[in-house]
């Protein structure tokens, strides 16, 4: 476990985290505008998507000073990506965000991906997710592709910007 000066602890996700991660992931989906996920998760789908699915690589959790999960970051092998690439997703509870959690999460994810032999990490972000685009740029990701006018469930079309982090 690594702990930062701001009382953020980063550790691998555990099954006892699932309900908390599911709750704030579903709140993010309900609020809208910052994730490509549009269908709410259940505890079971959080496990299969982020902790144990066929493409699972890693999932790290950031804990706040009271030991509660405040953010998480998953890494998976995804269809359509080149060999040696992994796909990343980062989620923080919408309220009471903890400054530095995203940076600390990416340090752990990046080290794990490098040690596992990955060549690159892909992040695909909705164009209307200004915060997400800024976060990945701050972490060193660079734009390499735009998928134009990807339809949402409600019929709106939103571009998806793909950024990559190369080792």
Q: What is the pLDDT of residue 3?
A: 42
> pLDDT digits over 113-141, tens only?
999 999 999 999 999 999 999 999 999 99
**pLDDT value for 31:** 85
Q: What is the pTM of this model?
A: 0.91
Contact 105, 62 (CB under 8 A): yes
Residue 124, both tokens: 């695909």
Identify whether the C-beta of residue 109 lies closer than 8 Å to the C-beta of residue 141: no
CA-CA distance, 159 to 167, in Å (whole number)? 26
pLDDT of residue 135: 97
Tally Cβ neighbours within 10 Å of residue 64: 18
Residues of the chain with pLDDT under 50: 2-5
Instruction: Check residue 36 and give its pLDDT.
Output: 77
Pair 136, 126: CB distance under 8 Å: no
Contact (Cβ atoms closer than 8 angstroms) between residue 33 and residue 129: yes
For 130, residues 6+ apart whose C-beta sits below 8 A from its C-beta are none
What's the confidence (pLDDT) of residue 6? 56
| C-beta atoms surrounding 17 within 10 Å | 20
The predicted pLDDT at position 4 comes to 41
Q: Which long-range contacts (CB under 8 A, 24 or more apart) does 21-30 make?
A: 21/46, 21/50, 21/61, 21/69, 21/72, 21/91, 22/46, 24/69, 24/91, 24/92, 24/93, 24/94, 25/91, 27/93, 27/94, 28/91, 28/94
Q: Is 50 within 8 Å of 148 (Cβ atoms)?
A: no
Give pLDDT, residue 32: 76
């Amino acid at each position: 476990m690594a702990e930062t000066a701001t009382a953020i602890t980063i550790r691998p996700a555990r099954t006892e985290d699932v309900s908390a991660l599911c709750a704030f992931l579903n709140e993010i989906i309900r609020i809208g505008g910052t994730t490509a996920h549009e269908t709410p998760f259940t505890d079971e789908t959080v496990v299969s998507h982020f902790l144990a699915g066929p493409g699972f690589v890693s999932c790290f959790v950031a804990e706040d000073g009271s030991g509660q999960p405040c953010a998480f970051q998953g890494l998976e092998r995804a269809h359509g990506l080149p060999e040696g690439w992994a796909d990343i997703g980062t989620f923080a509870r919408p309220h009471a965000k903890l400054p530095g959690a995203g940076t600390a999460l990416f340090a752990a994810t990046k080290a794990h991906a490098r040690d596992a032999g990955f060549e690159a990490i892909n992040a695909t972000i909705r164009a209307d997710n200004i915060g997400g685009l800024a976060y990945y740029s701050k972490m060193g990701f660079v734009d390499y592709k735009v998928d134009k006018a990807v339809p949402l469930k409600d019929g709106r079309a939103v571009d998806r910007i793909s950024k990559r982090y190369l080792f």
